[in-house]
Structure 1
Amino acid sequence: MAKLIKQKSFQITILVVFLLIILAGVVYFNGKSGEAVARVNGETITKDDLYNALVEQNGEEVLDSLISDKIIELEIKKQNITVGEEAVQTEIQNISVQYGGEEAFKQALEAYGYSMENVKADVKKNLEIKKLLEPGITITEDEMKNYFEENKDTFNEEEQVKASHILVDTEEKALEVKNKLSAGEDFAEMAKQYSTDTGNKDQGGELGFFSRGDMVKEFEDAAFSMEIGKVSDPIKTEYGYHIIKVEEKKPAKEANYEESKAQVKETLLDQKLSAAYDTWLQDKYEEYKIDNLL
């Protein structure tokens, strides 16, 4: 999927200093404090030096973040908050769509040195915080209606196509796959066997629904012009040759409040969560006994 969708601008914020502080702390407490971490012309820089420098530069900020994390952890335990793996995966899938697909999202993470395990941990934590705060947030019917009227265009549904594809490197290979499909071979199995798009080949080449502007032009033009259930001839793009199967189509549709209500509520909830979090955390700081011994 990522090989087809146009790249979108993105930024992933990684707290490098935070990680260095933690690393320094682990090294410091698990080894000899005077042990060398570097030498310059025989002069030693010790673990003490490294740790103290990092603490001096960002220690208060990082410690405050760790205290906040500990408060959240204790509240989650106190209120028996749980977030399942399925919810985490769904949220990650939603995020990956915003980056142009699973493969593009993975490439973005690699570029910033961030792992999928880091993402899962962050997503799970955010979902847990959401569960903690949501009971205290009120969203009225009037708020939802006003927001919908002010942002109605954003809830309109564009024309969409649901399709699968098989991507190969050469036209010869594409024609071979096409002939096998014409002879009755299963499209999903052919995708698993032949497709070079690692982002979706194991799912039978499924791309889900997409709108105009999401895919490269040649692919998009073909998919939107095809009939449901039809399989295309090889389509050449900058990524190779595609065999496309159109599975479903949705016409453009103007939004109405009742159908958009759940989405409106979720949008307003996300907006209110940020402000509610700061107030909630400040209250918890006053509630908990905190000794800062840095």
Structure 2
Amino acid sequence: MMNAIKKRYFFMVVCGLVIGLCGDASAIEKGKRFLVDKVVARVNGVSILYSDTQIPRIAKEGGLYSLDECIIEEVFFQKAVERHLQPSAVDIERQIVAFKIQNNLSHLSDTEFEEQLKKSGITLKMYREQMGRIMAVESVRRAEVSEKIFVTSQEVEAYHKANPRFVKEGYWLHVAQCETEDAPEDTYRWQDLGWVDKCDLDASYDFVASMEVGSISKPVKNAQGYQVIKVIEKRMPRPKTLDERYVKIEKLLRDEKRTKYLEGVEKELLEKAHIVRL
């Protein structure tokens, strides 16, 4: 298994040094040398180079991985190789197509897409390689938590009771702008503001709270002239029901358990791996 992983790598340097090519024979004769790259860690015999920590990463929106993040990705990737969970080239291309669609880039050719990627310092080849590793790592994570993480209805109910949430007081409003204070009502051009929480209303509109449903306010002067408000519906504050919150709470608890469980998996993989920091 480890030999299969190592085939992905090649050494860019021998002993971290190469002969410096300075453009004249005298420099070569003097044996000038400069550092090109260096090994900063080994994970089960696989080298992580300094340059690996300087490559823009799509998982961090063009940011860099720390050495620890490189090591964690490597141990998970090795686990993916061991369990034959690497994505195929077709799988990776599907992810690229999905990314293009989600970001309205589906009209771009590979060349045009690569030009967009290069703005973040990433080539299409790098994108494919990094996407493959991300997908492999995520496959390991999913496999580890599959059927091991579940949330009971009792846990959801207990969280709901211990962490109540409330529907805020709010109003469904229509608003119309008019040029004069005495403009006839049939000239109003209403705009639907939808639901507006009471806490989001400007202090000058506090009067809305005392208005009846269906009523229209007196004209209120503003920078554009006058404004009138109509209350379509009112929503009074109340505790949210368990049914309203169930799906969100269940997801929250599952995500918390997943994070905690994967932290344990990560710790175990790191403890079992032979890691040498150089």
TM class, shorter-length: 0.3 to 0.5
Greater percentage in helix: 1
Greater percentage in strand: 2
**Higher RCO (CA-CA < 8 Å; seq separation 6+):** 1
Structure whose CA Rg is larger: 2
Task: Give the TM-score normalised by structure 1.
Answer: 0.39
